[in-house]
Structure 1
Amino acid sequence: MSSDTQQGPLSLEQTLAYLCEHDLEEELQLILQQLAASNQCDGLFLLRIGKGRLPVQIEAMYQSDASIFSKRDAEMLLSRVANNRHLHSYTSLREPAIVEDVAAIIDDEDSRLRLNQAKIRSVLLLPVGGERHYIFGAYRYDCDGKWPEAIRHNLLLAGSMLGLAQEAARQRLNAKSNELVCIEHLYRLPIPCVHIGVDDRVIRYNQSAAEMLRVETLQKVESLVPKREQKRLLETMALVRDQLLEQSSCEVPLKYALDDDLSKVTFLCLSGEDGPILMLVEPVGEPAMESEERSVSLNFDSLTGLPNRAYFEALYDLANPCQCERSTFVGFINLDRFQVVNNVSGHRAGDQLLCQLAARLSQLVRKEDVIARLSGDEFGILMPNIDAQSAEQVAERICHAMANHEFCWEGRRHSVSVSMGMARCESEVDSVSDLLRRAGAACRLVKEKGGNAWYFYSAQDPVVEKLNTEMNASVDIVGALANDRFELFYQPIEPLNVNDDGLHFEILLRMRSPEGELIPPGIFLPAAERFNLASKLDRWVIDKLLRWGSEHLALWQSLSMVSVNLSALSISDSEFINWLEMRLLGEPELVSKLCFEITETAAVSQLDHATGLINTVKPLGCKLALDDFGSGFSSFAYLKLLNVDYVKIDGQFIQHLCEDRADQAIVSAICQLGRDMEFEIVAEFVESLEIAKHLLKLGVEFGQGYGIACPAPLATLTSGEGLHWYRELEG
Structure 2
Amino acid sequence: MQAESISSLQTALAGIFGDAPLVTLEQNVDRALKTITAQLDCDGVFVLSAFAGIGGIRPRNLYLRPGVTGGANPRHWPLERMPFFRQLMRQPKLLNVKDIAELPLQANAEKQLLRQWQVKSLLVLPPVQFGETRIAVGAVNCQRPREWDAGFINELGTAATLIGAAMELTRIAQALLVSEHKYQELFNQLPLSCCLVDRHNRVSMLNAIARQNLPLVEGTDLLGLIKPEESAILLDTLKVVRDGVLHQAWCEVSFNRPHPLWLKLSFSRMSDDPQHLLMLADDVSERHRLADELSFHANYDALTGLPNRFHFEALLARQLPVSGEEPVCVAFLDLDQFQVINNVSGHQAGDKLLCQVALRLKQLVRKGDTVARLGGDEFAILMHYCNLDTARVIAQRICSQLAGHDFSWEQKRHNVSVSMGIAPLDAEASDIYTYMSRADAACRVAKEQGRNGWHIYCPTDPRMHRLYTEMAASVDIIDALNQNRFQLYCQPIEPLTGQHRGAHLEILLRLEQEPGKMLSPGIFLPAAERYNLAPRIDRWVVDHLLRWGGCNLALWQELELVSVNLSATSLGDSEFMDWLEMRLLAEPELVNKLCFEITETAAVSQVEQAQQLIELLRPLGCKLALDDFGSGFSSFAYLKRLDVDLVKIDGQFVVNLCDNKADQAIVAAICQLGHEMDFEVVAEFVESSAIGERLMQLGVDYAQGYAIAKPSPLDHLTTGLRQPWHRN
Would you say same fold, with TM above 0.5?
A: yes
Supply the distance in 2 between the matched residues of 1:70 and 1:694 (Cα, whole angstroms). 101
Aligned to 1:326, the other structure's residue is in SS state coil
Q: TM-score, normalised by structure 2?
A: 0.65
Q: 1:137 aligns with which of 103, 128, 150?
A: 128
Q: 1:46: how far off? A: 5.0
For the residues of structure 2 that align with 1:181 and 1:626, how far apart are their CA atoms? 68
Partner of 2:289: 289
Question: Against the structure 1 CA distance between its residues 324 and 523, is the aligned structure 2 distance closer, same or farther, given a 3 Å change threshold?
Answer: closer
Bigger CA radius of gyration: 2
Change (3 A) 1:70 1:516: closer
Query: Which secondary structure does the structure 2 equivalent of 1:342 belong to?
Result: helix
Quote the offset at 1:324 in angstroms: 6.5
Question: 2:526 matched to 1:526?
Answer: yes
How far is the alpha carbon of 1:348 from its aligned partner?
1.6
Counterparts in 2 of 1:518 and 1:324: CA distance versus 1, 3 Å: closer
In structure 2, relative to structure 1, the CA distance for the partners of 1:652 and 1:48 (3 Å cut) is farther
Give the secondary-structure state (helix, strand or coil) at the position aligned to 1:471: helix
Query: How many angstroms does 1:342 deviate by?
Result: 1.1
Comparing 359-368 and 294-303, the one that deviates more: 294-303
- Percent identity among equivalent residues? 52
Match of 1:596, SS state, is: strand
Q: Provide the secondary structure at the position in 1 that maps to 2:385.
A: strand
Taking the TM superposition and a 5 Å limit, the aligned residue runs for 1:455-494 are 455-494=455-494
Deviation at 1:596, TM superposition (A): 0.4
- Maintained 8 Å contact 2:332/2:379: yes
Do 2:470 and 2:527's aligned partners in 1 also have CA atoms closer than 8 Å?
yes
Quote the Cα distance in structure 2 between the aligned partners of 1:567 and 1:653: 22
1:717–1:22 Cα change, 3 Å:
farther
Instruction: Give runs of aligned pairs for residues 145-164 of structure 1, distance below 5 A.
Output: 163=137
Q: Distance in 2 between matches of 1:70 and 1:547?
A: 66
Please give the per-residue CA displacement for 1:529-579, whole angstroms capped at 9, x wherever unaligned: 111111111111111111111111111111111100111111111111111
**Residue type at the aligned position of 1:611:** Q
Q: Is the 8 A contact 1:309 1:373 kept in 2?
A: yes
Pair 692,319 (structure 1): closer, same or farther in 2 beyond 3 Å: closer
SS at match of 2:384: strand
Contact 1:330 1:423 in 2 (8 A): yes
Counterpart of 2:604 in structure 1 is 604
In structure 1, the residue matched to 2:263 is: none
The CA RMSD measured in Å over matched residues stands at: 3.9
**Deviation (angstroms), 1:399:** 1.1
CA distance 1:177–1:382, shift in 2 (3 Å): same
Alpha-carbon distance between aligned partners in 2 of 1:176 and 1:190, rounded to the nearest angstrom: 25
- 1:313 deviates by 2.2
Look up the SS of the partner of 1:325 in the other structure. coil
- The match for 2:571 is 571
Whether the 8 Å CA contact 1:324–1:384 is kept in 2: the answer is no
| Matching residue of 2:548 | 548
Distance 1:700 1:424, change over 3 A: same
**Structure 1 residue aligned with 2:668:** 668
- Length, aligned pairs only: 519
Q: Is the 8 A contact 1:649 1:683 kept in 2?
A: yes
**Change in CA separation of 1:318 and 1:469 when aligned onto 2, cut-off 3 Å:** closer
Rounded Cα–Cα distance in structure 2 between residues aligned with 1:722 and 1:632 = 33
2:422 is the counterpart of 1:422: yes
Q: CA–CA distance in 2 between the matches of 1:382 and 1:723? A: 63
Long gaps (5+) in structure 2 = 1-39, 63-76, 91-124, 160-252, 254-283
Q: Secondary structure at the match of 1:463?
A: helix
Is residue 50–residue 57 contact of structure 1 (8 Å, CA) maintained in 2?
no
Matches within 5 A, 1:275-286: 286=286
Report whether the alignment pairs 1:53 with 2:56: yes
Cα distance in 2 for partners of 1:698, 1:629 equals 17
Q: How many angstroms does 1:435 deviate by? A: 2.2
Query: 2: distance between equivalents of 1:67 and 1:518?
Result: 77
Q: What are the Cα deviations for residues 28-50 of structure 1, in whole angstroms up to 9, with x where unaligned?
A: 99xxxxxxxxxxxxxxx657997
The answer as to whether partners of 1:46 and 1:137 remain within 8 angstroms in 2 is: no
| Shift in Å, 1:352 | 1.3
Q: Which runs of 5+ in 1 are unaligned?
A: 1-19, 30-44, 75-133, 146-154, 192-257, 259-283
- SS of 1:397's partner is helix
Quote how far apart the aligned CAs of 1:429 are: 5.4
Alpha-carbon distance change, 718 to 301 in structure 1, aligned in 2, over 3 angstroms: same
Secondary structure (helix, strand or coil) at the match of 1:399 reads helix
Matched-pair contact (CA < 8 Å) for 1:581–1:616: yes
Equivalent position SS for 2:579: helix
**Match of 1:464, as an amino acid?**
M
CA offset digits 1:654-709 (Å, max 9, x no partner): 01111111111111111111111100000001111111121112111110001111
1:585 is aligned to: 585
Counterpart AA for 1:424 = P
Q: Residues 71, 376 of structure 1: CA spacing in aligned structure 2 closer, same or farther, 3 A cutoff?
A: closer
**How far is the alpha carbon of 1:135 from its aligned partner?**
11
Partner residue of 1:213?
A: none
Match in the other structure for 2:632: 632
Counterpart-to-counterpart distance in 2, 1:532 and 1:613: 20
The normalised TM-score by structure 1 is: 0.65
Does 2:440 correspond to 1:440? Answer: yes
User: 2:478, 2:636 → 1: CA distance?
Assistant: 37
Letter of the structure 1 residue corresponding to residue 486 of structure 2? F
What CA distance in whole angstroms lies between the structure 2 residues aligned with 1:61 and 1:324?
Answer: 79
Deviations 1:96-147 (A, max 9, x none): xxxxxxxxxxxxxxxxxxxxxxxxxxxxxxxxxxxxxx9953499xxxx9xx
For 2:471, give the aligned amino acid.
Answer: M
* 1:441-468 Cα shifts (integer Å, max 9, x gaps): 2212222332111112233321111111
Which amino acid counterpart does residue 611 of structure 2 have in structure 1? Answer: T
Distance 2:673 2:325 in 1: 69
| Amino acid aligned to 2:494 | E
Distance 1:315 1:50 in 2: 63
- In 1, the alpha carbon distance for the partners of 2:406 and 2:84 equals 78
Q: Secondary structure at the match of 1:691?
A: helix
Return closer, same or farther for 1:375/1:66 CA change in 2, 3 Å cut-off: same
Shift of residue 349, structure 1, vs aligned partner: 1.3
